[in-house]
Amino acid sequence: MIRINTDTLDIVDLPEQVDGCNFKAGETKDGELWIVYHSGLLLHVWIRSVDSDGTEIWVPQNRISFSAEIDQITQEMHASFRIVQVRSRYVYLSMTYMTPVGTQRRSFFSIAWTCCLRGHSMTISIRI
């Protein structure tokens, strides 16, 4: 991944876990680089940070499960997901699934993820 800055051209290696996954990168309101990828019904959130040696590294922040919310819609039928965009700690996804009567549906939804000093919170908003 290349992060273009008006002063520098930074080349940033991705974590090994992201290899071959559907992922998107974005910046937080504070300008921190972050990525999100999914495996199954889990979203993995990583933020670029600096370790104790001053080296920039990827730090896993959270794994967010959205299986309960998706099962309510798909009634436990198979669904496929694609991360459409990440912006200011919001993850926008599309979901394709078959209804019980055999009709293919596509839905879009977002997950808001916030980090605070005492932990993480999330809100899942599904729009069909």
pTM over 0.75: no
Per-residue model confidence as pLDDT tens for the chain (128 residues):
655 566 666 677 888 888 777 788 887 777 778 888 888 788 888 888 888 998 888 888 878 787 777 777 777 677 888 888 887 667 888 888 887 788 888 888 777 765 443 344 555 555 54
Residue 51 gets which letter from DSSP? -
DSSP string, 6-42: SS-EEE-PPPGGGTTS-EEEEE-TT--EEEEEEETTE
CA atoms within 13 A on the CB side of 125: 7
